[in-house]
Structures are given as structure tokens and as C-alpha cells.
Structure 1
Amino acid sequence: MIKILALGDSYTIGEGVKQSESWPMQLVSQLRKDNLKVDTPQIIAVTGWTTTNLMSAIEKSRLEEQYDLVTLLIGVNDQFQGFSEESYTIGFKKLFVKAIELAGGRPNRVIVISIPDYGVTPFGKRFGSARIRAEIERFNEINNKIAVEKGVRYVNVTEISRRAAEDPTLLASDGLHPSAKMYAEWVELTVPVARSMLEESNN
């Protein structure tokens, strides 16, 4: 069985939607439709987590298993809580190295997902959409650079998240987190990447 580990925060756990509608669960569902034998994903994610919180949780979980695919989406709460770019860089790098380790030391089995732009949501507008957009973009420049330097695949869902400004059906009822519909669009981008990685040899 193919084992997937999803690391993150509210966007990974699927705050505001059914568990089956979270993007890791939808990803597994789509991969199974491609006749891949995929186990239920292990998810380490909690709403509100920063890079520091996630790293602490991973260490406490004492994960010993080698996963076939590890996804990493983290940083929105670092931005929301006012973490500096330097602080986010340090925190993300630690998680990035850990993600590769959990993928059996294989960078070609890790996917980094960009941070969505919640500035377009009703919640985000209260905190200044332009500022949020600029800070999210900078954090995404940081995580993208780290991923690309190691040859790790990067999936950009940020532009999809910004479409919620015109399409409220892309948001959950809380007016902040993505709906199942938006997560499905994330999965459309992620499935081809994940499938190609899983079909590669283990070398």
C-alpha cells in the first residue's frame, strides 16, 4: 500500500469541511481512481499551527515509517502572527528537511504546496487584503526557493485561492477556509504531480 503523510495546518486538516472533503483525502480518492493502492493518509495538522507548532508535533509523534509521499503546506499562521521572514525561513527549512527524511531521504517524494491568500476572504479583508497579499507572496517566495533548490516539486494553489474574491462557493461557511470545491481544484493540480512521483522507481 502507498503511504502518504500530509503535514500542515487548517488547510490540510480541512477546517470547515467534512474530513472526506479535505484536500489530502480528496487526493487519495483521485489516486485510487487511477488504480493506485493508496492507504488512508496520515495527517499531522491542526488549525492555528505555525511552523514551530508543526515541528514540535512531528517530533512528539516519533514517526519512524518511511512514506511514499509527503506533502508540506505551512506558513499562513506564521504570517498571521507576525513572524519575520527570517523566522519563517528557519522554521520552514527545518520542516522541509524533516519532510525529506520522512520520505526516506527522497526529495522526489515530497511536494510543497504554496500558502493560500486569505486576504480576499471576508475574514481577511478585516486585516488588510493588500498587506496580507504582499506578506503571503513573500513567504511563498521563500518556500518556493527552498523547494526548487532541492529539486522538490512545488504546487501553487495561491491563484486558485484568490478566485474566492469573486466566487464565494470556493469558501467554507466560516468565510475564511476553502470549501470542498476549492480543495478539489487544488487536487486537480496535485494529482498529476503525485501520480508521476509515485510511478517513478524508488531510486
Structure 2
Amino acid sequence: MLLAAKFALGPVLLRQGRAVRRTALRLPEPAGPRHGVAGGGEPRLRLLLVGDSSAAGVGLQHQSQALALPLANVLAQRLDGAVAWQLLAETGLDTRGAQALVGRSDVAAADVVVTVLGVNDVTSQQAARGFVAETARLWTQVRQRTGARWAVVCGLPPMELLTAMPQPLRWYLGRYASGLDAALRGWAGDEGLGFCSLHWAADPSLLAPDGFHPGAALYPLWAQRLADLIAGERARWAPP
């Protein structure tokens, strides 16, 4: 059905996509540290977050409002100890681009890796099979670089709700994202990894001013959900 829609709507989708790229509001990545230690006391966890502009916190003023640092703070409270954290994220990254970023970065040792990727794989029309294959390569790469024992992959957001996109482009990208999201969830389950769905973030009024990225109200909820997954699966990543 989606392939038929792509052929039928192709000229409209192409025109709308070009218009969005030309007129979209460009927001900067927020200031603030991209690595550090949250909490005090005995070290409990080393955390690496790899991702795109949403992981970087585009649309916010400071990393303290974004995902990586708040997640580390919540985990430090949950685990009653220190959490070392590092953020590797850039605007525009797809999953293959994330591999390149990891490859050229000074990556610290980690116990758990969190990935926030997929939206740019949708906009570049990466097939679900290719998307999963690139995600598997990224997991192999970061595991080898960091010694990580476990990962949580974040699913794709409900792109049909992104107000920056006109219809029918918004509908089409939403359906395409759903296919990649389902494939990613299946792969994570097969690999014994965590999966954090983003389909709870279904209120367009909570988006950033660009109508594309999460707004400030969504990040604390996202951090809490990730913390629940990571703290709840401690047996999978904690050293024996």
C-alpha cells in the first residue's frame, strides 16, 4: 500500500519535501557539556548516548534540558551512585552517519549504550532491512569500542504528528517511520536489547518551535522511561 501511495503521490511528495527543506526553521544544538559524571558516591554505570538532532537536544537552550544529562541524573538517583555519561550526537545523522561519528570520536568505556536514530533514515528513504542492518553494525562497533554489555534502542517518533510537514507528506513519512520502527523493535527483541518506544509522545503541542523536534516538556518524560528500562534491567549490564 505504501509503495503504491509513493508512486501515486510521488510528484506531490517530492515538491513538498523540497519546500520543507527550503523553508524549515533551523534551530541550533544547545550549549552545555557532552560528558561528565552525575551524582556522587560509588560508580554505578557508564552510559553512552549516540544519536541525531533529537539526542543532541535541538530546540533547547542547554544540555541540562535535553536527554543525556537528565537521564544520567535520574539514573544516579535510581542506582544510588555516580553515573559517568557521554553524548555523541549531531544534527542530520542517519544510522550510517552515526557509525562515522563514533569512528572519529574519542569514545569512553561504557556499560550501556542508548541510540536515538531513524528519522533521517526515513527522510533518506532507507529500507527497513537496510536500517536494521546499519543499526546492527553500529551496535557491533560501539560494543567493540566501549566494552558495552547492553543497549537500549529508541524507536522512531510518530512522524505523522510533526507539524512542520504538510499533508500528504506527513502521512507518508509517518507510515514509513512505522515500518522502520516495527523492524527495529523486532531486531532489538531478537538481540536481547532494550527498546524504548516513542509513540507515547503523541501531543503535537509539546514539539519544539520548529514543529519537528521534541520540546522541553517531552525530554524529562523520555529520560524517565529510559531510566526505567536501564535500572530495571541491571542484571543485563552490571558487571558480575
The alignment's TM-score, normalised by the length of structure 2, stands at 0.74
Q: CA deviation at 1:105?
A: 5.2
**Among residues 149, 152, 160, which one is paired with 2:200 in the alignment?**
160
Q: CA deviation at 1:49?
A: 0.5
Name the aligned partner's letter for residue 193 of structure 2. V
In structure 2, the CA distance between the partners of 1:16 and 1:127, relative to structure 1 (3 Å rule), is farther
Q: Per the alignment, in what secondary structure is the counterpart of residue 3 of structure 1?
A: strand
**Among residues 189, 194, 197, which one is paired with 2:230 in the alignment?**
194
Gaps of 5+ in 2: 1-42
Q: Per the alignment, in what secondary structure is the counterpart of residue 50 of structure 2?
A: strand
The structure that is strand-richer by fraction is 2
> Are the counterparts in 2 of residues 26 and 184 from structure 1 also a CA contact under 8 Å?
yes
Aligned to 1:30: 74
> Are the counterparts in 2 of residues 122 and 175 from structure 1 also a CA contact under 8 Å?
yes
Aligned to 2:216: 180
Q: CA deviation at 1:87?
A: 2.7
Give matches, 1:114-129, under 5 Å: 114-125=155-166, 128-129=169-170
Q: Per the alignment, in what secondary structure is the counterpart of residue 58 of structure 2?
A: coil
Residue-pair matches, total: 194
Gaps of 5+ in 1: none
Cα RMSD (Å): 2.0
Aligned to 1:59: 103
Aligned to 2:123: 80
Q: Deviations over 1:11-37 (max 9, x none)?
A: 111111121111122111212233231
Structure (1 or 2) with the larger CA radius of gyration:
2
Name the aligned partner's letter for residue 124 of structure 1. M
Q: Deviations over 1:104-139 (max 9, x none)?
A: 252xx2111111123312213356222111111111
In structure 2, the CA distance between the partners of 1:86 and 1:196, relative to structure 1 (3 Å rule), is closer
In 2, the alpha carbon distance for the partners of 1:62 and 1:130 equals 39
> Are the counterparts in 2 of residues 8 and 44 from structure 1 also a CA contact under 8 Å?
yes
Aligned to 1:101: 144
**Among residues 173, 182, 187, which one is paired with 1:146 in the alignment?**
187
Name the aligned partner's letter for residue 185 of structure 2. N
Aligned to 2:173: 132
